[in-house]
Amino acid sequence: MPTLTPEEFGERQQRNNEFLVACGKYHKGSSSGDLKRAQTLFNRGVDVDFLDGDGWSALFYAAGEGHLRLVQWLVEDWGATVDLRAPDNCTPLWTACFNGKRDVVSYLLRVGADDTIVGTPPGEPAQSPALAARRNRNPGIADFVDFEAELRRGDPSRRPRQVARQMTKEEFRESMRSSPQFAAMDGGAA
């Protein structure tokens, strides 16, 4: 990355912050995020894994708000780090589980998000993504994550294939069909 002048650095920081807002920061409860705005800002130069003062990237905000199209765009088109950890060790998967964003959880699992990273949010005990879902009254999501963990234990090549994007959407969905929570989770996002 070329050296930026203080002015250029300030402008880039501003774009990075605007990018986080377009991806869901401060949009509690909004339905879709602002993919067009995020794309425009990205094309003007932002850092896809830029962390704000809370240690969150655009993927955290998009995942936590359930903006599936933004999550897919960040991961597939721009290589956002799926298992990026916030200072409390939470990940985008953990955040989506905690907030009950089932389509995002399903997608992140399909692309190999690590379901074993234990987060420790302020005032809470350490907890896996599945436990975070359970503690926030999302038992179906927790069961789905637990089922994926069971599949990964049974097939050690599963997660590496997911991380390498070698598992198709159809293959993932087919492997999850025996999950008791599949029907509830299969909103087309897997």
Residue-wise pLDDT for 141-166, tens only, equals: 999 999 999 999 999 999 999 999 99
Q: What integer is the mean pLDDT of 5-20?
A: 73
Whether this model's pTM surpasses 0.95: no
Closest to 60 in 3D by CA, of 23, 106, 92? 92
Nearest CA-CA partner of 42 in 10, 78, 81: 78
Q: Going by CATH, does the domain composed of 1-81 fall within 1.10.443.10?
A: no
Query: Can you give the pLDDT at residue 127?
Result: 96
At 33 the pLDDT is 66
pLDDT over 60 (residue 31) = no
Least confident of 67-81, 91-105, 140-154, 166-180: 166-180
How crowded is residue 100: how many other Cβ atoms within 10 Å of its Cβ? 15
115 token code pair: 């379901």
Question: What value does the mean pLDDT of the chain take?
Answer: 85
pLDDT tens-digit map of 68-79: 999 999 999 989
Q: Please tell me the distance from the alpha carbon of residue 95 to that of residue 104, in angstroms, as a whole number.
A: 10
Contact call for residues 139 and 133 (beta carbons, < 8 A): yes
Q: Greater confidence, 81 or 178?
A: 81
pLDDT-based confidence at residue 108 (cuts at 50, 70, 90) = very high
Averaged pLDDT, 34-52: 79
| Domain layout of the chain by residue ranges | 1-81, 85-190
Residue 46's nearest CA partner among 25, 70, 17, 68 is: 17
